[in-house]
Amino acid sequence: MHTKQLIICFALTLVGTSALSAKENRCGWIQNPTPGNYWLDDGEGSWILMTQGSEIEPLGMENMPDFTTGEFVKTNGYYGYACGCIEAETERSGDFGDSFLGRISAIYAVKQLPIGQCRADKALLMAKNGGRDRLVVIDAGDPLSHREISTLAVTPE
């Protein structure tokens, strides 16, 4: 009888663990500014996919398409950004500094979207700063540079 209880507990643990790492769809700016550096800026914040020199990369990185075959903005030779959605698993963590919410740990599918769709999405202008919502006005010459020109407080509606 004791063995049966252990098996049931183990099975419930596995079910609970799989719920914590559920797939989610995250859409926004998919950035590849330099070799080996990828992140996603969505309506919630920024998520690291991989960084140059790190051995950590999400499972399924091979699912990332060649964004240059669709609408793609070059900012540095062959590198730049695109608009898209990633079906992924994420891990929230403060280990990546104040600029990132965490990392994307697994990529299941990626869909590239028209650049205009991200430009029209007001949620992509929102960022979190110490728990306070803010609207970041960024350099129009390089809209994804993360260089803030000014910051305005946002009042919830």
Reported as a single tens digit per residue, the pLDDT across 121-148 is 888 875 333 333 433 433 344 444 444 3
Q: What is the predicted pLDDT for the residue at 12?
A: 45
According to DSSP, residue 55 is labeled: S
CATH class label, 22-153: mainly beta
Q: Residue 18 pLDDT more than 50?
A: no
Query: How much is the CA Rg of the chain, to the nearest whole Å?
Result: 18
Model confidence band, residue 98 (pLDDT cutoffs 50, 70, 90)? low
Residue 150: partners with Cβ closer than 8 Å, 6 or more residues away:
137
Contact between 83 and 71 under an 8 Å Cβ cutoff? The reply is yes
Q: For the chain, report the end-to-end CA distance as a whole number of angstroms.
A: 57
**The pTM is what?**
0.68
pLDDT band at 3 (very low <50, low <70, confident <90, very high): low
Identify whether the C-beta of residue 146 lies closer than 8 Å to the C-beta of residue 99: yes
Q: What is the mean pLDDT of residues 21-25?
A: 86
